[in-house]
A and B are shown apart, each in its own frame.
Chain A
Amino acid sequence: MAEFMSLRDAIAANLRDGDSVAMEGFTHLIPYAAGHEVIRQGQKDLTLIRMTPDIIYDQIVGMGQAKKLVFSWAGNPGVGSLHRVREEIEAGRLAIEEHSHAAMANAFEAGAANLPFAVFRGYRGVDLPKVNPNIRSVTCPYTGEVLATVPAVRPDVAIIHALKADREGNVLLEGIVGVQKEAVLASKRSVVTVEEIVEDFGPRSTNAVILPAWTVTAIAQVPGGAHPSYAQGYYKRDNAFYIAWDKIARDKAVFLKWMEENVLASGPETFAAQARRFAVAAE
Chain B
Amino acid sequence: MTDYTPTEIMTIAAARLLTNDEVCFVGIGAPSAACNLARLTHAPKITLIYESGTLSTRPSVLPLSIGDGELCDTALTTVSVPEMFRYWLQGGRITIGFLGGAQIDRFANLNTTVVGPYDAPKVRLPGGGGAPEIAINCGQIFIIMAMGQRAFMDKLPFITSLGHGTGKGSREALGVKTRGPTQLITDLCIFEPDPETSELTVTSLHPGVTREQIQENCGWPVKFAAAVRETPAPDATELSVLRDLHARTKAAHAA
Judge whether A237 and B175 touch: CB under 8 Å: no
Judge whether A77 and B65 touch: CB under 8 Å: yes
Judge whether A28 and B126 touch: CB under 8 Å: no
**Cα-based distance from A230 to B71 in the complex (angstroms):** 13
A120 within 8 A of B: yes
Residues of A within 8 A of B124 (CB): 74, 81, 86, 89-90
Residues of B within 8 A of A219 (CB): none
B243–chain A nearest beta-carbon distance, Å: 19
Judge whether B126 and A73 touch: CB under 8 Å: yes
Contacts A26-B52, A237-B69; is A77 near B130 (CB within 8 Å)?
no
Counted as pairs of residues, one from A and one from B, with CB atoms less than 8 Å apart, the total is 184
B171 within 8 A of A: yes
Contacts A100-B129, A106-B86, A178-B53; is A242 near B65 (CB within 8 Å)?
yes
Task: Give A41-90 interface residues, CB cut-off 8 Å to B.
Answer: 51-52, 71-75, 77-79, 81-82, 86, 89-90
A252 within 8 A of B: no
B76 within 8 A of A: no
Judge whether B159 and A125 touch: CB under 8 Å: yes
A164–chain B nearest beta-carbon distance, Å: 17
Q: How many positions in chain B have a CB within 8 Å of any CB in the partner chain? A: 59
Residue-wise interface mask of B (123-134) relative to A, using a CB-CB cutoff of 8 A (1 in contact, 0 not): 111111111110
Most buried by B among A73, A89, A126, A146: A126
Judge whether B253 and A182 touch: CB under 8 Å: no
A108 within 8 A of B: yes
Residues of A within 8 A of B171 (CB): 125
**Cα-based distance from A209 to B78 in the complex (angstroms):** 12
A101 within 8 A of B: yes
Judge whether A28 and B128 touch: CB under 8 Å: no
A24–chain B nearest beta-carbon distance, Å: 9
Judge whether A105 and B136 touch: CB under 8 Å: no
Residue-wise interface mask of A (6-36) relative to B, using a CB-CB cutoff of 8 A (1 in contact, 0 not): 0000000000000000000011100000000
B79: nearest chain-A partner, CB-CB: A177
**Cα-based distance from A91 to B132 in the complex (angstroms):** 26
B207 within 8 A of A: no
B63: nearest chain-A partner, CB-CB: A78
Residues of B within 8 A of A176 (CB): 52-54, 67, 69, 71-72, 78
Judge whether A73 and B132 touch: CB under 8 Å: no
**Cα-based distance from A86 to B121 in the complex (angstroms):** 10
Judge whether A131 and B118 touch: CB under 8 Å: yes
Residues of B within 8 A of A74 (CB): 124, 126-127
Residue in contact with A125 in the complex, picked from B68, B128, B137, B176, CB distance below 8 Å: B176
Judge whether B129 and A125 touch: CB under 8 Å: no
Judge whether A177 and B80 touch: CB under 8 Å: yes
Partner-binding segment picked from B160-168, B188-196, B209-217: B160-168
Residues of A within 8 A of B36 (CB): none
A129: nearest chain-B partner, CB-CB: B132
Judge whether A178 and B28 touch: CB under 8 Å: no
Contacts A127-B113, A178-B80; is A100 near B130 (CB within 8 Å)?
yes
Residues of A within 8 A of B113 (CB): 98, 127-128
Residues of A within 8 A of B158 (CB): 127
Task: Give B73-121 interface residues, CB cut-off 8 Å to A.
Answer: 78, 80-82, 84-86, 89-90, 109, 113, 118-121
Judge whether A90 and B121 touch: CB under 8 Å: yes
Residue-wise interface mask of B (207-230) relative to A, using a CB-CB cutoff of 8 A (1 in contact, 0 not): 000000000000000000000000
Known: A102-B133, A125-B171. 4 other contacts (CB 8 A): A28-B67, A51-B81, A78-B65, A102-B86
Interface residues of A (CB under 8 A from B): 26-28, 51-52, 71-75, 77-79, 81-82, 86, 89-90, 92, 98, 100-102, 105-106, 108-109, 120-128, 131, 145-146, 175-179, 181-182, 209, 230, 232, 236-237, 239-240, 242-243
Interface residues of B (CB under 8 A from A): 28-29, 51-54, 63-69, 71-72, 78, 80-82, 84-86, 89-90, 109, 113, 118-133, 136-137, 158-162, 165, 170-171, 174-176, 252-255
